[in-house]
Amino acid sequence: MTGVLVLAGTPIGDVSDAPPRLLTELATADVIAAEDTRRLRRLTQALGVTPAGRVVSYFEGNEVARTPELVEALRGGARVLLVTDAGMPSVSDPGYRLVDAAVNAEIKVTAVPGPSAVLTALALSGLPVDRFTFEGFLPRKSGDRSRQLAEIAAEPRTMVFFEAPHRIAETLAAMAEAFGADRPAAVCRELTKTYEEVRRGPLDELARWAADGVKGEITVVVAGAPPAAPKEYGPAQLAELVAAREEAGERRKEAIAAVAVELGLPKREVFDAVVAAKTARQ
């Protein structure tokens, strides 16, 4: 029997948010792989839990070397619990590499749902939540960051980002330049902690606020791009679109129908434009 890899979400601030299953897993796992073993020790002490299993570190600097060791333990039947400093493993934290290796080894992977900075910030932002995309941390270098922001400037879904406090003012200014100064956004700071704060407003206003300095763990939520205004086509342009299709081999009737569907217009309107163009040429 192979073991089970358990991904466990840990509190993002308030320790009392820890789900009961997390306490059970911490107390019974054969191996606990923690992003920071000192943070894990403080968490277990706060929860009143004494781990029975072996505790090892699993962070960005050693995950390549440690993953095969953990997979071997899983192959031997161990229940391996993976935790990060806060939130769900592999979401901008170590974890993906181990999950990928476990899946490829046909080892069961399950999860203990827990607090999420992404979903908490999204819910508190006051922005649309029906569709969203998680962008994680932006590149540290300004040129790379600007290029990435330009790539997603037209993204229609609400976007969620993580950012460090010493870079937040620069990042918000870059977002205002790429997305537009008046794009609605929310900066969520110290979620679930004593000094929790959610600052909402247009990006340029938030950038000015952040220029004075911001402390704590930060999640930024930005509204998606507004829908582009439909392009207006005059009779001459409609006739040109039909003519281009005719030149490509379509019959006129089919070309008119195709242009009407593409632009969401009545076929009669496109037909009249073609007739008007033909009359003008005579």
pLDDT in tens, 228-281: 766 788 899 999 999 999 999 999 999 999 999 888 889 999 999 999 988 887
Per the CB < 8 A criterion, the answer to whether 158 and 222 are in contact is yes
Is the pTM for the entire model greater than 0.75? Answer: yes
What is residue 139's predicted lDDT score, i.e. its pLDDT? 95
What is residue 264's predicted lDDT score, i.e. its pLDDT? 84
Tell me, yes or no, whether 203 and 189 share the same domain.
Answer: yes
The amino acid occupying position 125 is S
In the predicted model, what is the mean pLDDT of residues 86-111?
93
* End position of a domain, from candidates 86, 115, 144: 115
| 84 in a structural domain | yes
What is d(CA 74, CA 68) in angstroms, rounded to the nearest whole number? 10
Tell me, yes or no, whether 156 and 193 share the same domain.
Answer: yes
What is residue 230's predicted lDDT score, i.e. its pLDDT? 66
* End position of a domain, from candidates 64, 82, 115: 115
Tell me, yes or no, whether 50 and 134 share the same domain.
Answer: no
What is d(CA 188, CA 35) in angstroms, rounded to the nearest whole number? 24
Q: How far is CA 166 from CA 115, 170, 172, 216, 217, in A?
A: 24, 9, 12, 10, 11
User: What is the CATH number for 78?
Assistant: 3.40.1010.10
What is d(CA 124, CA 160) in angstroms, rounded to the nearest whole number? 12
Interval 72-94: pLDDT, tens: 999 999 999 999 999 999 888 88
| 264 in a structural domain | yes
* End position of a domain, from candidates 172, 191, 222: 222
Please tell me whether residue 18 adopts helix, strand or coil conformation.
Answer: coil
Interval 156-201: pLDDT, tens: 999 999 999 999 999 999 999 999 999 999 999 999 999 999 999 9
Boundaries of domain holding 255? 235-281
